[in-house]
Structure 1
């Protein structure tokens, strides 16, 4: 049964990667939530997609150049300013504390492709273990070296490889790195691809599936999960 992950929360209807976006995803019955993690100047783990705060907040600059306290001055309401008030950039810890008593799954994307945040993997894994969420978390990244490291450090936490271009036999590559999932750009997918990945015990979770026609197609392909900005719509289409 294909699961529905709310991409950066219910990002199509609420400010992405904010607590209200995650609350909405739970409210509409998503199976899980996807979010992105970066690190502040003082080593705090914050939930934000871009390496800079320019697109999603009313500030400018690199996440790595601000302390967590400084980042709290900015409003991450993004393009929904006329609908919602002030939304702060959350700490990963805040999200884990909130998600812990729920039954939601969680995909944490490490944003370490452009900036090699010092000890990002260690800190994220430590926090997942603190909240005992090992069995409900999938770690993913476009940085596959990082995923191999995560698997070595914490083989009990699932890892998945994000990628954009078609790869040759990516299920073999995934197994080589100890990953249990592939998170491909949906255009690289075919029914045969899904079958082959499944034959190799590798889960397939394409991104980002926002249109009804695409949702239907992915459900028909029997992918393990989809990432969507519109979890409510995806649930309705799935029905």
Structure 2
């Protein structure tokens, strides 16, 4: 059965990448959550998607230029003002909470635009500290970073994120020891899924928000989808 990952939590109805959004994903019965990590100026692994705080908080500037204490003062409630103050969480905070759930965790390393020295090591250290190696998937558009993660922690699954159609991506994934492909959904069809499965690779496309897209992905037999609307996806899947 296709697993439903709540993209940045239940980001269609709650402020993305916040604890309230992640908790809503468990409330509606998602199989997993997807979240993004970056490093603060003082080396804390924080959960935020954009390289700047401008879009999702009431602040301005680059994540890398804030200390964690400074970041924590910002309100990340984005377009959902009705939920009051929502601080930017640390990865430690999310995993400490998540350990007590049955969720899978897709941790996307946001290190394509900015090179965060030590991001892989610090993220792996936290996953190991909470003993969650078997419930975590690392993903990134930075495929070199995924190769590094595999080298440092071969027991933790790595997945390649990408936008454009690739030639035989299942062969490319094997060269990086990745165990999953996370493609942009228009590049996926039934043949793609069959070939990936033949090469022992999981397929989890992003970001699937429309009902017809969800139905197509379920019919194509993908292993998981990332969606901003997990409740809707679960209802459709279980029908």
TM-score (norm 1): 0.99
Q: Any runs of at least 4 consecutive aligned residues in structure 1 with deviations exceeding 4 A, and if so which?
A: none
Rounded to whole Å, the distance in 2 between the matches of 1:79 and 1:109 is: 22
Matched, 1:169 2:164: no
Rounded to whole Å, the distance in 1 between the matches of 2:49 and 2:20 is: 16
Rounded to whole Å, the distance in 2 between the matches of 1:221 and 1:13 is: 27
Aligned-pair distance for 1:162?
0.1
C-alpha distance after superposition, 1:160-193 (max 9, x if no partner) = 0000000011011111101000000001111100
Unaligned runs of 5+ in 1: none
Aligned-pair distance for 1:222?
0.7
Aligned-pair distance for 1:101?
1.4
Aligned residue in 2 for 1:157: 156
TM-score (norm 2): 0.99
Rounded to whole Å, the distance in 2 between the matches of 1:119 and 1:112 is: 11
Aligned residue in 2 for 1:105: 104
Aligned-pair distance for 1:73?
1.3
Structure 1 counterpart SS, 2:151: helix
Rounded to whole Å, the distance in 2 between the matches of 1:129 and 1:236 is: 34
Matched, 1:67 2:47: no
Aligned residue in 2 for 1:129: 128
Unaligned runs of 5+ in 2: none
Aligned residue in 2 for 1:24: 24
Rounded to whole Å, the distance in 1 between the matches of 2:106 and 2:195 is: 23
Rounded to whole Å, the distance in 2 between the matches of 1:89 and 1:126 is: 20
